[in-house]
Amino acid sequence: MNPSEMRIDQLKNTIAAKVRHPFLAKYIADPIIDEDKLAILISIMDHTTLPALKKESYIVTTMLVQIALDTHDLVTLSDEEDEHETVRTRQLTVLAGDYYSGLYYYVLSQLNDIPMVRTLAGAIKEINELKMDLYYKDVESFQEFFTSLKKIESLLIQRVANYVQKTTINDMAGEWLFAKRLMEEKSSYEEGRFSPVIQLLINKPDTFETNSQLMFNLEQLIHNQISKIEMRVSQLPIHFNWLKSYIDSAIYHRFYKTHMAEEG
């Protein structure tokens, strides 16, 4: 295991320890820590001259924000006929998202870092506005819908990169995080699990005539995204070699290997 992989594991453990709450753990699943976003944040911070403690605090607090946003996305719309336990789980999920949000304020307050708080708070506001548009606004095209989704996936990390003035990998990060989300949604749908993005598109009757047409277009979009990412990765400076290897490996295992297995 190379040093960067060890740091991913160490930071995942640090974040997991911070978000672990004995009461919440009894009723809802542990939050998922997005390893790809963590890897990108590590690469961004590694190329700054910030003190080690501040680098770690920025990474941890950004991931706490991401976890809070992701947790709130798990909340389903209420139904009067819901079982009591479902309603309770939903309420606890909302509570968990709020709890994770509060943690990042606490961590940054220990650093007395008001500008970073403003950066993250601004990103949260923008992301929530984009989500509201995605969920409730009538989009005019497939492309418009996915342009909004791409912003939602990458905006937080890009805002942090802008704040520390290290934006070299912003474009590549945006393309990769978008492709990753598309692949996750497609896999969930094909395996019979809930896919919020595909469900949103199915519920927009003017977008596609059939579900098979939707899945075909989604597959084409994923193929195009992978081509874009491979080009972006190849153009990264040499000092991002670890991240280049990480993304190349992720593309192979999550895209090419999966397609080879399907075709085989």
pLDDT at 103: 78
Tell me the backbone φ, ψ of residue 107, rounded to 5 degrees. -60, -45
Q: In a 3-state reduction of DSSP, which class is residue 190?
A: helix
Segment 7-33 mean pLDDT: 83
Average pLDDT, the chain: 84
| Residue-wise pLDDT tens digits, 26-46 | 766 778 899 999 999 999 999
**Mean pLDDT, to the nearest integer, of 104-114?**
78
For 216-227, what is the HEC assignment? HHHHHHHHHHHH
Strands in the chain per DSSP E: none
Q: Residues with Cβ < 8 Å from 175, sequence gap 6 or more? A: 225, 228, 229, 232
203: confidence class by pLDDT, cuts 50, 70, 90: confident
Grade residue 63 by pLDDT with cuts at 50, 70 and 90. very high
CA distance 75 to 135: 13
Enter the pTM of the model: 0.87
pLDDT > 60? residue 78: no
Q: pLDDT at position 79, please?
A: 44
What does the angle CA 59 – CA 3 – CA 48 come to, to the nearest 5 degrees? 45
From first CA to last CA, the distance across the chain in angstroms is: 31
Contact residues for 10 (Cβ-Cβ < 8 A; gap 6+): none
SS3 assignment for 10-62: HHHHHHHHHHCCHHHHHHCCCCCCCHHHHHHHHHHHHCCCCCHHHHHHHHHHH
What is the distance of C-alpha 126 from the center of its chain?
A: 15
Choice among 52-61, 90-99, 220-229 with the minimum mean pLDDT: 90-99
Binned at pLDDT 50, 70 and 90, residue 75 comes out as low
- Confidence class for position 81, pLDDT limits 50, 70, 90: very low
Q: Determine the average pLDDT of the residues in 203-227.
A: 83
CA distance 217 to 145: 13
Q: How far is residue 149's CA from residue 197's CA, in Å, rounded to a whole number?
A: 9
Lowest mean pLDDT, pick from 49-58, 108-117, 136-145, 171-180: 136-145
Residue type, 260: M
Q: Which of 65-79, 141-155, 198-212 has the lowest mean pLDDT?
A: 65-79
pLDDT higher than threshold 80 for residue 241: yes
CA distance 52 to 68: 24
pLDDT, position 1: 53
Collapsing DSSP to helix, strand or coil, 174 comes out as: helix
The model's confidence at residue 194, banded by pLDDT at 50, 70 and 90, is confident
Instruction: Supply the pLDDT for residue 228.
Output: 94
pLDDT band, very low/low/confident/very high, at 4 (cuts 50, 70, 90) = low
Please state, in angstroms and as integers, the Cα–Cα distance from residue 119 to each residue in 103, 168, 260, following that order. 16, 19, 42
